[in-house]
Structure 1
Amino acid sequence: MELMKQIKTHPFLFGLLLLLPLAFLLLGKPRWQFYPLYALFLLSLGLFLLESFGAFHPGKSTHRVFLFLGGTLLLLFLLFSAVFPKMKIKEPEGPYKVGTKIYLLEDTSRDEPYTEDPEDHRQIAYQVWYPAEETEGHQKTKWITQGKTLTRTLAKSFRFPAFLLDHTAEIYANAYLDAPQLPADNPYPVVLISHGWQGFRQLHTDFAEHLASYGFIAISIDHTYGSQAVPLQDGSTALLKKEALPSRVSAEAFQKASSLLMSTYGEDVLSVLEDLARKKKEKDPFFHAMNLSSVGVLGHSTGGGGDVYAAQKDSRISALLGLDAWLEPLGEEALSNGLSIPALFVRSSQWSQGPNNLHLRTLLSASSEASLFEMRDTNHVDFSMAYMYSPISPYIGFSGKLGPEKSSEIQKALLLSFFHKTLGSENITGIPTLEDVLSRYEDLLPIQEKDLPSLWHFTKEKSF
């Protein structure tokens, strides 16, 4: 009787107790964004039970407090869900389904510069995306395969609460793990992808899936100790080492550290190329389908500079696309040697100022087929999947005003047409020409070498 009385007296409270569990079921797997909703349920349940058994007889002031707390918890739930939603990776647009495989590599010809054990060899991981023949019976892979180990390292590196990015470990990508490769009459063109400092290989999953869906094989490299979290062959995980690129040190010390980091990234690219060639030589049919005589490289920031390093050393690299490529650590001598392959550099508006443009000028002037474009209203992070973390990033200045949807559209169109033109393949048809893409988007601004700053400009600026 007392229970029925409470139901009649407090229909709103009873309604909450019925609706909240239903909401939990609809929302799916628990995430930290739902904690205020869980707290609201427990608060409602506690108050209802106390009143039902006569252990507590609240007055009007208690109900006001409950309504205030309940409203606050509900608003927090809505706020957290809006600011940190569980995003979905856009499906690739190409005609092929996409498979993916992950490989761990130890290069015994290289020492590991970032550990104290002199017996350590360089270990890296790389992930391959490719056209798949059949996906039935294969599961879609998670976007972040290292799970919370990576998300919590990333949160720590940005001084966020450890749990803040945990929900991204539950996001699925569009590729199917270990799905059989689609046979092709001609070898697939290959593009190697390098992330920037403090990035990780999955930050360019959208690029990789996009390329694979159109008949490329895309391979993204985890640059160990410059990446957030890299699985090693013994089952352990190598976490980011911020001392690899230290701050608050002398200019000389920073140059030494950045040069080592850049060359390490570049050598990682060469290690993966060698590993692919070795596996192809062993008649592995998966690797035998790769065209390794003419390879493209795509790099962001430090990864872009590492790609320039690798391209100058290995003639198998036939095309380079650099996204805000950081060039300073390469040194003037290397930059003055230029590139003899088609190279396309795209800079963000955020990087349109600063000394990196001086180094760009040096490289462009020494290269035979290099060009530079600026993508308007973009920040450095817009050349990655930073948009997966929060839709409000353009409004707080973390990413550019162009917005993730438009920015991603331009980049995907650009990289697809560029590598189709420079690497080519009879497996790929219906892709717009590079010239069409460059003329289609008014947010891509061509930058002439003469418009880049010279050493005189920087000397003049410093004199003031």
Structure 2
Amino acid sequence: MPDAPELARPGAFRVGVRTLELVHANQPDIQKGSGVEMPVYDRPLRVEVWYPAQEKITGTTAEYSDFLGSASDPDRPLTPFTFPGRAARNVAPNTSEGPYPLVIVSHGYLGSRVLMTYLTENLASKGYLVVAIDHTESTHENPGKFTSTLYHRPLDDLFVLNEMDRFNRSGEGHFLSGMVDVSRTALLGYSMGGYGVLNAAGAGFAPGFVGAFSQMTAGSQLLATRSLSDPSYSGTVDPRVKAIVAFAPWGMQRGAWDSEGLKNLRIPTFFIAGSEDDISGYEDGVKAIYEGALNAERYLLTYLNARHNVAPNPPVSPYLEPADYMHYSEPVWDERRINNINQHFVTAFLGIYLKGMEYGKFLDLPVNSLDETWTGYMPRTSIGLEMRHSAP
């Protein structure tokens, strides 16, 4: 948009995109578990990969596919739709300037890997390798037990990180060979995706939350492995993850974290939330997570008067059924403006912590955006926002 903040604009790279089918073998099949038995299955994960492409590329411009409604809701029948992207499908990668820092993107419940293409394409144009996950049993097309989402989210993120490392090392036979610098990885998640990336990065779940999950799954202690009470948990916090971005992370109001769990988060974290979030909560939700993560360098960008939908692409049409429209829409803010602001601040944050860029001036801001025009903004355009910053 003409009034977009400075860092929202696309970067210098052309962008390619490909779809990959991954399989996480021998995972607990919570969807089919019953009683005290927990079968295992090979968990499929479809991912979309955006990457810097060669300068002279010829390829079909991407058209992304998603669904409205839900396969489990008879009142909102599953309805496919498509929308255009800006990346080119299956074109040759730009290997001459890689490897590139890795960004792994996790959608909400229910959602999809193409929920935030405005951001994934934008980051790839700036020299990042971006991978967004379709979390099995957590999409419109494939909804499942909520307990499956609770357990698998952080593990999906970490598995995809390992797969990107494997592809990077696989030799000339894979298009990602030599393209991925997994030592500079960021995890980015929205809603349930935010819940997952926080846990993957060190915010161990509270004992009370684990106990509630155990009751929901007939005695299964699976989620206990993602708690500080399990000695193995700390060893799963991957040192390759250097930063996380959490849009409206779910869970604090439901007891997912206590003070000890939040203090175990030590990775630089950028939170983004609406002050009137009615799904994840604000004062006792996202802001409480921010305040409790005492050992992390952290930021909190707040959209004043916004609700939960501070991350998705804009609604595909103003003529949708109300429930489908509101799944994507923010009732107060223009979604395109939110998208541009997100592009700006995520670019600044990842630029600092993954690339060592001198972007501190874009984050070193007065709390209230009306006190003075924020750096990177046109006069009169930094309005309705707050930025908090706390050091360990």
Q: TM-score range by the shorter chain?
A: 0.7 to 0.9
Matched, 1:128 2:49: yes
Q: Is the helix fraction higher in 1 or 2?
A: 1
Q: 1:411 aligns with which of 323, 342, 352?
A: 342
Residue equivalent to 1:192: 104
Distance 1:199 1:288, change over 3 A: same
Aligned partners of 1:400 and 1:188: how far apart in 2? 37
1:118-168, Cα deviation, whole Å (9 max, x unpaired)? 242222111110111156442122111xxxxx52554874933555xx4x3
Aligned partners of 2:40 and 2:151: how far apart in 1? 20
Per the TM alignment, residue 195 of structure 1 is displaced from its structure 2 partner at its CA by 0.4
Q: Tell me, what secondary structure is at the counterpart of 1:413?
A: helix
Matched-pair contact (CA < 8 Å) for 1:309–1:330? no
Matched-pair contact (CA < 8 Å) for 2:189–2:246? yes
Greater displacement, 373-382 / 152-161: 152-161
1:271-300, Cα deviation, whole Å (9 max, x unpaired)? 101111122222245242211012011110
Gaps (5+ residues) in structure 2?
1-7, 203-236, 366-372
Matched, 1:265 2:206: no
Residue equivalent to 1:151: 67
Matched, 1:319 2:246: no
Aligned partners of 1:419 and 1:304: how far apart in 2? 16
Q: 1:181 aligns with which of 78, 93, 96?
A: 93
Residue equivalent to 2:307: 379
Aligned partners of 2:190 and 2:109: how far apart in 1? 9
Distance 1:173 1:432, change over 3 A: farther
Matched, 1:215 2:139: no
Residue equivalent to 2:284: 355
Residue equivalent to 2:233: none
Equivalent residue letter for 2:112:
F
Aligned positions of 1:181-330 closer than 5 A: 181-229=93-141, 239-241=142-144, 244-245=145-146, 257=147, 261-283=149-171, 284=174, 286-312=176-202, 313-328=237-252, 330=256
Q: How large is the RMSD of aligned CA atoms in angstroms? A: 3.2
Distance 1:358 1:370, change over 3 A: closer
Distance 1:338 1:401, change over 3 A: same
Distance 1:158 1:105, change over 3 A: same
Distance 1:361 1:151, change over 3 A: closer
Residue equivalent to 1:17: none
Per the TM alignment, residue 319 of structure 1 is displaced from its structure 2 partner at its CA by 0.3
Distance 1:152 1:340, change over 3 A: closer
Q: Tell me, what secondary structure is at the counterpart of 2:343?
A: helix
Equivalent residue letter for 2:16:
G
Aligned partners of 2:115 and 2:317: how far apart in 1? 11
Q: Tell me, what secondary structure is at the counterpart of 1:408?
A: helix
Distance 1:291 1:353, change over 3 A: closer
Matched-pair contact (CA < 8 Å) for 2:23–2:45? yes
Q: 1:339 aligns with which of 250, 259, 265?
A: 265
Aligned partners of 1:299 and 1:119: how far apart in 2? 26
Matched-pair contact (CA < 8 Å) for 2:259–2:292? no
How many residue pairs get aligned? The number is: 321
Distance 1:162 1:285, change over 3 A: closer
Aligned partners of 2:362 and 2:196: how far apart in 1? 27
Aligned partners of 1:362 and 1:299: how far apart in 2? 19
Per the TM alignment, residue 416 of structure 1 is displaced from its structure 2 partner at its CA by 1.0
Distance 1:314 1:213, change over 3 A: same
Matched, 1:112 2:29: yes
Gaps (5+ residues) in structure 1?
1-90, 145-149, 230-238, 246-256, 450-464
Equivalent residue letter for 2:311:
F
Matched, 1:139 2:60: yes
Q: Is the strand fraction higher in 1 or 2?
A: 2
Percent identity over paired residues: 21
Aligned partners of 1:261 and 1:202: how far apart in 2? 18
Aligned partners of 1:341 and 1:179: how far apart in 2? 34
Per the TM alignment, residue 432 of structure 1 is displaced from its structure 2 partner at its CA by 7.7
Aligned partners of 1:419 and 1:158: how far apart in 2? 41
Per the TM alignment, residue 262 of structure 1 is displaced from its structure 2 partner at its CA by 3.0
Per the TM alignment, residue 357 of structure 1 is displaced from its structure 2 partner at its CA by 4.3
Per the TM alignment, residue 430 of structure 1 is displaced from its structure 2 partner at its CA by 9.7
1:380-406, Cα deviation, whole Å (9 max, x unpaired)? 12311143343898xx97513221121
Q: Tell me, what secondary structure is at the counterpart of 2:114?
A: helix
Q: What TM-score does the superposition give when structure 2 sets the normalisation length? A: 0.72
Q: Tell me, what secondary structure is at the counterpart of 2:115?
A: helix
Q: What TM-score does the superposition give when structure 1 sets the normalisation length? A: 0.62
Distance 1:294 1:123, change over 3 A: same
Q: Which has the higher contact order (CA 8 A, sep 6+)?
A: 2
Equivalent residue letter for 2:352:
K
Q: 2:351 aligns with which of 420, 424, 430?
A: 420
Aligned partners of 2:287 and 2:304: how far apart in 1? 20
Aligned partners of 1:293 and 1:115: how far apart in 2? 36
Moved beyond 6 Å, runs of 4+: 429-432
